[in-house]
Amino acid sequence: MEIYDYIVVGAGSSGCVVASRLSEDPAVRVLLVEAGSDMNNFWVRTPAGAGKLFMDKRFNWAFNTEPVPTLGGRKVYWPRGKGLGGSSSINGMIYMRGQPPDFNHWAALGNEGWGWADVLPYFMRSETNQRGADPWHGGEGPLHVSDAAITHPTADDFIAAAQHIGIARRNDLNGPPHEGVAYRQYTIRNGRRHTSYNAFVEPVRHRRNLVVRTGVRVTRVLLEAGEATGIEVLENGERHSIGAAREVILSGGALASPHLLMLSGIGDGATLQRHGIVPAIESPEVGHNLQDHWFGALAWRVTAESSYNHRLRGLRKYLEGARYLLTRRGYLALGAAPVTAYARSEPGRPEADLQLTVSPMTFKIAPSGEPVIDDFPAIGASVVLLTPDSRGHMELVSPDPLRAPAFHPNYLSAPGDIRRSIEGMRMMRRIAQAEPLASRLIHELSPGAPVTSDEQWLEHIKTNGNSGWHQVGTCRMGSDAQAVVNPRLRVRGARRLRVVDASIMPRIVAGNTNAACIMIGEKGADMIRADALSARPAARPAAH
């Protein structure tokens, strides 16, 4: 059997970090396996290409949830990255870490070593910030974090209007006080998307002790007497096994990692038996504690100069394309909505629980999956509830590893989530009605001025809202007996098996999740190296 010291399953935001950091030790041999392909594609590397990847099944698992009762039976589309870099290759490139209370809350739940003071050094270690190093940011890390390539007057006016209603202007939303309104930063380097693969693996892929394989579908973790000994894979149409002398690390993300645990016999025993899977370790919370961000959307028709829709249509879009190819700047070098405000839905909240954003561009997704820029000047806005109390779950529907699980997100099932989301939508409208932004608006397109009551707002949020595509929590970290992994990220009841990705979050962070996933990869790799398990006596790594 082919044997490595460490096998990392999933080359996404966390997995690339883990594989890169573990392979810094030339004495160990690391295998990084990815079910998808290489992502070296023009639209992947072009920041504004994110819309084109939204439904492209070459690079996207393109999941759908089950009908969601709390949304009137809607199914919700969940894009997930498929290939080197994972979802960092198809996301909006927003670099937001979350807020200090998020991580202090993790620690308060019994996860020692996961407080803000503990995780900040890992955020900093991973980062080279365009603004330079300071007490909150790194200047020598693999991941490049940059300011928006260009600014727009409408974005400036959103900041001023937010100040008008009492939201403080900030320069850095990833540093104290972590609340207010500002321009965002992005994982973009020299005008090109900088994925976790580009940052952490691509520069070191020449290492002789690091092997990266794509097109490898892991079907289960091999377990012997409660110990992970390797993985079973489907590769080039053939099923075979690969051994791990030290550890198997699952970094497939919040949807793939719990699925793989279940397929391996780790989960709720009765459910596994119904699908013909022999239970190996009883862990009923696998796949539970599913959390995601839900957002409501608004849009306005605006004066001609207040939107850049016209710059991305007709002949002008070719001029923008040429500008990007020649300079790596312009509108094609932009990530998702450039400005955001972090605010509290209620005065007594311990942290900002709303993320309010505006983009001077609007589009619709055509039936073909292609984004189509609107042919009139408009701006769009979103209101994300950052700290939802609603919890969902995922479940097996088949023992076939190639068949996706069923996803039940249970959005807006907690009454407080509804109340706070509606308050956020009203706050966004108040910002839009404040000067100087108000002078740019002609009329509200969605949901429309007649929508004013709680019932109308809720119907709009349920019918036209969407996922923030930030699924987490399905392999919850904790020190209690029901947690799927312990604070060292070891799977409870199993030896030589860890989960290192978004699924370990006990509670979703109050921000976008990519930066936190990279931090988890950094910290997880440090834990693995610090614990330094010796090779299993029966295992011998492949020759270097």
Residue 29 lies in a domain: yes
Q: What's the rounded Cα separation, in Å, for the pair 286 and 112? A: 21
| Number of Cβ within a 10 Å radius of residue 274 | 11
- Which positions ≥6 away from 433 have C-beta within 8 Å? none
470 marked ligand binding residue: yes
Q: Which domain holds residue 65?
A: 2-531
Q: Provide the pLDDT for residue 542.
A: 59
Q: Read off the amino acid at residue 129.
A: N
How large is the C-alpha radius of gyration of the chain?
23
User: What is the number of domains present in the chain?
Assistant: 1
DSSP 255: T
Q: Which of 178, 194, 460, 470 is catalytic?
A: 470
Q: Supply the DSSP symbol for 490.
A: B
Stretch 121-132: mean pLDDT, rounded? 98
Q: Kindly give, in sequence order, each residue whose CB lies less than 8 Å from that of residue 69, ignoring residues fewer than 6 positions away.
A: none
Q: Tell whether the model's pLDDT for residue 441 goes beyond 90.
A: yes
Q: Which residue type does 456 have?
A: Q
* Confidence grade of residue 368 (pLDDT, cut at 50, 70, 90): confident
Q: Summarize the confidence of residues 95-121 as an average pLDDT.
A: 97
Can you list the positions of beta strands (E) in 40-179? Answer: 63-64, 77-78, 127-129, 143-147
Which tokens in the block code for residue 499?
Answer: 């989960």
Residue 508, both tokens: 């979703």
Reported as a pLDDT band with limits 50, 70 and 90, residue 123 is very high
H or E stretch covering 378: strand 378-385
Say if residue 218 carries a ligand binding annotation. yes
Residues paired with 342 in a beta bridge: 180, 355
Alpha carbons within 13 angstroms on the beta-carbon side of residue 61 total 26
Per the model's pLDDT, the better-predicted residue between 16 and 348 turns out to be: 16
Predicted local confidence at residue 369, as pLDDT? 75
pLDDT digits over 403-420, tens only? 999 999 999 999 999 999
* Residues 300 and 441: beta-carbon distance below 8 Å: yes
How far apart CA 49 and CA 369 sit, in angstroms, is 13
**Catalytic status, residue 275:** no
Instruction: Return the SS3 of 322.
Output: helix
Residue 537 lies in a domain: no
Q: Say if residue 178 carries a ligand binding annotation.
A: no
- The Cα–Cα gap between 79 and 67 comes to 16
Predicted TM-score (pTM) of the model is 0.96
Residue at 539 is within a domain:
no
Q: How far apart are CA 81 and CA 100, in angstroms?
A: 28
- Read off the amino acid at residue 384: V
200 secondary structure, DSSP code: I
Rounded to whole angstroms, the Cα distance separating 505 from 332 reads 33
The number of beta carbons lying within 10 Å of the beta carbon of residue 533 is 13
Tens of pLDDT, residue by residue over 303-317, are 999 999 999 888 888
Q: Are strands 2-9 and 238-250 parallel, antiparallel or unpaired?
A: parallel
Handedness of CA 334, 337, 341, 342 (dihedral sign): negative
The confidence band for 147, taking pLDDT boundaries of 50, 70 and 90, is very high
Residue 11, domain member (yes or no): yes
Mean of the per-residue pLDDT values of the chain: 95
For residue 541, being part of any structural domain is answered with no
Tens digit of pLDDT for each residue in 492-519?
999 999 999 999 999 999 999 999 999 9
Where residue 242 sits, what CATH number does that domain have? 3.50.50.60
Q: How confident is the model at residue 544 (pLDDT cuts 50, 70, 90)?
A: very low
Which candidate, 524, 523, 518, 520, places its Cα nearest to that of 195? 518
What is the rounded average pLDDT of the residues 237-244?
96
- Please give the C-alpha separations between residue 138 and each of 114, 115, 122, 158, in angstroms, as whole numbers: 19, 19, 9, 29
- pLDDT (tens digit per residue) in 62-95: 999 999 999 999 999 999 999 999 999 999 999 9
CA end-to-end span of the chain: 15
Paired tokens of 531: 């614990």
Show the 3-state SS of 381-435. EEEEECCCCCCEEEECCCCCCCCCCEEECCCCCCHHHHHHHHHHHHHHHHHHCCC
Backbone angles phi, psi at 475, to 5 degrees: -130, 60
Quote the pLDDT of residue 543.
52
* Within-domain flag for 501: yes
Banded pLDDT at 378 (limits 50, 70, 90): very high
